[in-house]
Amino acid sequence: MIDYMKEAIKEAIKAGKKGEIPVGAVIVYNGKIIARGRNKREKTQNALLHAEIVAINKACKKLHSWRLENADIYVTLEPCPMCAGAISNARIKRVFYSASDNSDSREIIDKIFSSTRLNHKVELIQGEYQTESSKLLSDFFKSKRLSRKNKNAV
């Protein structure tokens, strides 16, 4: 059986190697991964290109539909409000996330996923590999701080 969160982590690692905040996502439909995404904000200089957005974009193209009903998304970090809104607009059924975001956005995404606006509720589930996904992020920020410190010391 495919370990979907592990596949999302592979995407996060690729993002980190390109100098992006390491977040990855996959969209699963009928037991198959139909789209993969990783954070591309810095390289593209596009505020929209979080891992989830990249994956939703591809999934809509793949299914020729803006309705991703019965699809699930696996993402290595709890979604931000933009991505939570996109997941809800795309009628995705369930979100499995790995690392927690630890900001005040949890209350916001809970409200987005339970909103009556669209007659669609999204289920939010914390999945596996929390330590791995969090470590990817903390290592990334640690190396960024270190590289800034070294630059300033020159």
Beta strands in the chain (DSSP E): 24-29, 32-38, 72-77, 94-99, 123-126
For the question of residue 7 being annotated catalytic, the response is no
Q: Is 47 in the site for a copy of itself (CB under 8 A)?
A: yes
Q: Which is nearer to a copy of itself, 32 or 64 (CB)?
A: 64
Quickly tell me which residue has 């606006």 as its tokens: 117
- Would you tell me how many other CB atoms lie within 10 Å of the CB of residue 8? 33
The verdict on 117 binding a copy of itself (CB under 8 A) reads yes
> In this chain, which of 1, 31, 45, 152 binds a copy of itself, going by CB under 8 A?
45
Q: Determine how many CB atoms are found less than 10 A away from the CB of residue 40.
A: 18
The residue within the footprint of a copy of itself, chosen from 7, 13, 14, 89 (CB under 8 A), is 89
- How many Å apart are CA 23 and CA 115, to the nearest integer? 26
Task: Name the site residues for a copy of itself (rule: CB under 8 A).
Answer: 41-42, 44-48, 50, 53, 56-57, 60-61, 64-68, 80-86, 88-91, 103-105, 107-108, 111-112, 115-117
